[in-house]
Chain A
Amino acid sequence: DAGVIQSPRHEVTEMGQEVTLRCKPISGHDYLFWYRQTMMRGLELLIYFNNNVPIDDSGMPEDRFSAKMPNASFSTLKIQPSEPRDSAVYFCASSSHRVMNYNEQFFGPGTRLTVL
């Protein structure tokens, strides 16, 4: 398996623009997570899905952030409009609750977002 795939790997945009980050989880995994990592705040869970349904979005910072999972193999995290304080590395992770009796998460390589 190719692991969790994220695109783009790097994104530079200007304040006010819409940004869409993409994630393809590991095939067969039923949980998908979006995290944000910054020097100041560390690793923060934004939202997670189970079987394509959002379960907990309490970590989503503002209404400017939205996430969707239209099917088991694809998810997006959208920021509209983007602001400089959104600059961070965004990670997607997936796991399988059915296969394992512990909840190891597999992380993608991340998208480094810079908002100018």
Chain B
Amino acid sequence: GDSVTQMEGPVTLSEEACLTINCTYTATGYPSLFWYVQYPGEGLQLLLKATKADDKGSNKGFEATYRKETTSFHLEKGSVQVSDSAVYFCALSDRNNNNDMRFGAGTRLTVKP
């Protein structure tokens, strides 16, 4: 079945460092891909999305490109801030599969001043 594998954490970076969190997927159909972020004590929030191959999702300085050839959707940011400390989840949803969304295990990011 459909699944998502993301880089295990935790990841600790200094402020202004570059971030990459790897995410690869397995799907039989044509999924939409998502990155969700969970700040401490809160629910998950959509960070960015891409609905078809070669689409680039972006928000708050984060970017991810839907790569069908490598089945990947890596999350990147050029300069992280302390406020980016959170848990990041990669997810996919096959619109032909009853709205079922599959989440990765989550990657905890800590940014130190």
Binding site for B on A (CB under 8 A): 4, 31, 33, 42-43, 45, 48, 50, 55-56, 91, 93, 95, 97, 101-110
Could you say which residues of chain A place their CB within 8 Å of the CB of B46? Answer: 104-106
How many chain B residues have a CB neighbour from A under 8 Å? 20
Q: Majority SS of interface residues in chain B?
A: strand
By a beta-carbon cutoff of 8 Å, the part of chain B in contact with chain A is 32, 34, 36, 42-46, 49, 51, 89, 93, 95, 98-101, 103, 105-106
A50 touches B99 (CB 8 A): yes
Contact B45 A102 (CB under 8 A): no
A33 to B102, CA, bound (A): 12
Are A103's CB and B93's CB within 8 A?
A: yes
Q: How far does the alpha carbon of A102 sit from the alpha carbon of B100 in the complex, in Å?
A: 11
Chain A residues lying within 8 Å of B34, measured Cβ to Cβ, are 104
Given A31-B99, A93-B43, A107-B45; 7 other pairs, CB 8 A cutoff: A4-B43, A33-B101, A43-B103, A48-B100, A55-B98, A105-B46, A106-B46
